[in-house]
Amino acid sequence: MLTKLSNSKFLIPAMVALIILAAGTGFYISLKQSQNQLVQNNELRGLFWPNPKQIKDFSAKDHNGNAFELSNISGKWSFIFFGYTNCPDICPITMSVMANVYQHLANYYENIQIIFVTVDPERDTTEKLSSYISFFDQDFVGLSGEPTIENSLTRQIGIPYYYNMKKENNNYLVDHSASIFVIDPKTRLIAKLSPPHQPEKIIEQFKNIKRFIDEKD
């Protein structure tokens, strides 16, 4: 039996907190995600089921300056993390975890993809993103310029982010989602992996979710 919640546990408190902060700039959150149902039981926790959100076409630029669209995630299991390169603690911790997860999963599956989306496109240029991505793993994909684009992954998934003290100086900080999102080969937003992140936990969660989806489809 799956335990279901009518709303994502994450979104309500996050929305309340962020609405209070929304007097600043760069604030965005989608309400659409709250329509999804989030499975809470141990084996399939983080799974959006039933009715996972279908990701629509989008157009972004990757860390090499190439177009990155829906076709680039179709047929693959994509793990997506939202962050920025001026974040020296939480973001590299998560990226290191994902490098570890990727090195493990790539031994078993051919269609695994790790995507880092910057919520700070103004400072995270293509060059910066390219160097950042390859530091963790040559196979990772970095997306820049993303949040501001209509239908972007950031908007479709409904990622909260907020710029702190942006006007005061160039060393501003960005509050952002610490979760990792999973999109399945049919380009459905299938799961949200909650922090704190550990490779073993993510690998186990992913295998359970993949098994469940493979049986359903």
Partner 1 sequence: MKKINGLIFIFIIFLNASIVLAEDISGIDISHLWISEAPPTVSVLVAYVTLKNNTTKTASLVSVSSPLFSSIEIHRSIVKDEVASMERHLSLTIPAKSTIKLLPGDYHLMLFNPKTPLEIGDKPTLTFTFSNGVKILVKAQVKKRKYRKH
User: Where does this chain bind partner 1 (CB under 8 A)?
Assistant: 10, 13-14, 17-18, 83, 85-93, 96-97, 99-100, 123, 127-128, 131-132, 134-135, 160, 164, 171, 173, 175-179, 194-196, 198-199
Nearer to partner 1, 13 or 216 (CB): 13
Our CB check for partner 1 shows the closer of 185 and 199 to be 199
Q: With both helix axes pointing from N to C terminus, report the angle between 90-105 and 199-216 in degrees, rounded to the nearest 10.
A: 50
Residue 60 or 87: the one with the smaller Cβ distance to partner 1 is 87
What DSSP assignment string belongs to 47-105? BB-SSPEEPPP-EEEETTS-EEEGGGTTTSEEEEEEE-TT--SHHHHHHHHHHHHHHHH
Residues 6 or more apart from 160 whose CB is under 8 A from it?
14, 15, 18, 27, 28, 29, 175, 176, 177
Check if the beta carbon of residue 156 is closer than 8 Å to that of residue 56: yes
CB of residue 178 to partner 1, shortest distance in Å: 4
Closest distance to partner 1 from the beta carbon of 112 (Å): 17
Peptide bond into 50 cis (omega under 30): yes
**Nearer to partner 1 (CB atom), residue 80 or residue 99:** 99
Residue 32 CB, shortest distance to partner 1, in Å, is: 17
Least distance CB 83 / partner 1 (angstroms): 8
Q: Give the span between the Cα atoms of 215 and 154, in whole angstroms.
A: 29
Token digits of residue 50: 């039933």
Q: Which is nearer to partner 1, 111 or 134 (CB)?
A: 134
Q: Is the peptide bond before 196 cis (omega within 30 degrees of 0)?
A: yes
Q: How far is the CB of 118 from partner 1 (least distance, A)?
A: 12
Cβ closer to partner 1: 3 or 198? 198
Minimum gap (Å) between residue 193 Cβ and partner 1: 10
